[in-house]
Structure 1
Amino acid sequence: MLIVITFIAGINYANNLVLGFCFLITSLLCMSVYLTFKQLHQLKLEIFCPEVGQVNHVLQIQLQFKHSNHAIRYLMIHLPESQQRILLNQMSDSIILEFIPTTRGAFELPRIKIMSSYPFGIVQAWTYLQVTQKIWIAPASISIEMEDKYVQLKQQHDLDDFRELQAYREGDTLQHVSWKHLARGQGWLTKQFEPHIEHNQLVIDYSALPGHEHEQKLSWMMHLIEMSEQADRSFSLILPQTHLKPSMGANHSIQARKLLAQA
Structure 2
Amino acid sequence: MSRLTRSRWQTWVKKWINRRIPRSDVQLLTQRNLFILPTAAGVVFCMLLLIMLITGINYQNSLIYLVTFLLGAVFVGAMHQTHRNLSDLELTLVQAGEGFAGDDILFRLRAAAGKDDAIALTLSDDDFSVRVGHVPAGQSIDIALRVPSAFRGYLRPDQIRIETRFPFGLLKAWSWMRPVSAGLVFPRPIAAPEVISAVDDGDQTASSRSPEGNDHAELRPWREGDMSQRVMWKRYARSGQMVVADWEADKGSPHWLDFDAFPGTDHELRLSYLSWLVLERGENNTRFGLNLPGQIIEPESGPAHTTRCLRALATWGEKKPRETVAQPHGTRRYSPSDRPSDATPGAPV
Structure 2-normalised TM-score?
0.55
Query: Could you tell me how far 1:95 is from its partner in structure 2?
Result: 2.1
Q: Partners in 1 of 2:62 and 2:310 — Cα distance? A: 73
Q: Partners in 1 of 2:185 and 2:197 — Cα distance? A: 24
Segments of 4+ in structure 1 off by > 6 A? 151-154
Residue 45 of structure 1 aligns to a residue whose secondary structure is strand
Pick one of 95, 98, 117 that aligns with 2:165. Answer: 117
Query: Could you tell me how far 1:255 is from its partner in structure 2?
Result: 2.8
Q: Partners in 2 of 1:257 and 1:212 — Cα distance? A: 19
Bigger mean CA deviation after superposition, 234-243 or 247-256: 247-256
Residues 1-263 of structure 1 aligned to structure 2 (within 5 Å) = 2=47, 3-50=49-96, 52-68=98-114, 71=117, 73-90=119-136, 91-144=139-192, 147=195, 149-150=196-197, 202-263=255-316
Residue pair 2:97, 2:105 contacting (<8 A) in 1 also: no
Larger radius of gyration: 1
Residue pair 1:77, 1:115 contacting (<8 A) in 2 also: yes
Q: Partners in 2 of 1:255 and 1:88 — Cα distance? A: 38
For residue 235 of structure 2, what is the aligned residue in structure 1?
A: none
Bigger mean CA deviation after superposition, 131-140 or 214-223: 131-140
How many residue pairs align between the two structures?
217
Query: Could you tell me how far 1:4 is from its partner in structure 2?
Result: 4.9
Query: Could you tell me how far 1:144 is from its partner in structure 2?
Result: 2.5
Q: Partners in 2 of 1:40 and 1:16 — Cα distance? A: 37
CA RMSD of the aligned region, Å? 2.7
- For 1:42, give the aligned amino acid: D
Over 3 Å counting, the alpha-carbon distance change for 1:248 and 1:50 in structure 2 is farther
What's the CA shift string for 1:119-165, capped at 9, x where partnerless? 11111111101122222322111122555x347797xxxxxxxxxxx
Q: Partners in 1 of 2:199 and 2:280 — Cα distance? A: 14
- For 1:15, give the aligned amino acid: N
Over 3 Å counting, the alpha-carbon distance change for 1:201 and 1:43 in structure 2 is farther
Gap runs ≥5 in structure 2: 1-45, 202-252, 317-349
Gap runs ≥5 in structure 1: 155-199
What's the CA shift string for 1:202-243, capped at 9, x where partnerless? 211111235422122111111111122212233211112221
Query: Could you tell me how far 1:55 is from its partner in structure 2?
Result: 0.9
Residue 255 of structure 2 aligns to a residue whose secondary structure is strand
Residue pair 1:114, 1:128 contacting (<8 A) in 2 also: yes
Identity between Structure 1 and Structure 2 (%): 23
Residue pair 1:237, 1:244 contacting (<8 A) in 2 also: yes
What's the CA shift string for 1:176-219, capped at 9, x where partnerless? xxxxxxxxxxxxxxxxxxxxxxxx98211111235422122111
Structure 1-normalised TM-score?
0.72
Residue pair 1:237, 1:246 contacting (<8 A) in 2 also: yes
More strand, by proportion: 1
Residue 220 of structure 1 aligns to a residue whose secondary structure is helix
Q: Partners in 2 of 1:249 and 1:69 — Cα distance? A: 47
Query: Could you tell me how far 1:72 is from its partner in structure 2?
Result: 5.3
Q: Partners in 2 of 1:233 and 1:152 — Cα distance? A: 17
Q: Partners in 2 of 1:133 and 1:119 — Cα distance? A: 33
Query: Could you tell me how far 1:253 is from its partner in structure 2?
Result: 2.9
Over 3 Å counting, the alpha-carbon distance change for 1:70 and 1:32 in structure 2 is closer
Q: Partners in 1 of 2:263 and 2:257 — Cα distance? A: 12
- For 2:298, give the aligned amino acid: K
Query: Could you tell me how far 1:24 is from its partner in structure 2?
Result: 1.3
Q: Partners in 2 of 1:219 and 1:115 — Cα distance? A: 39
What's the CA shift string for 1:52-84, capped at 9, x where partnerless? 431123311112111245735111223323434
Q: Partners in 2 of 1:235 and 1:72 — Cα distance? A: 50
Q: Partners in 2 of 1:89 and 1:77 — Cα distance? A: 13
Query: Could you tell me how far 1:93 is from its partner in structure 2?
Result: 1.6
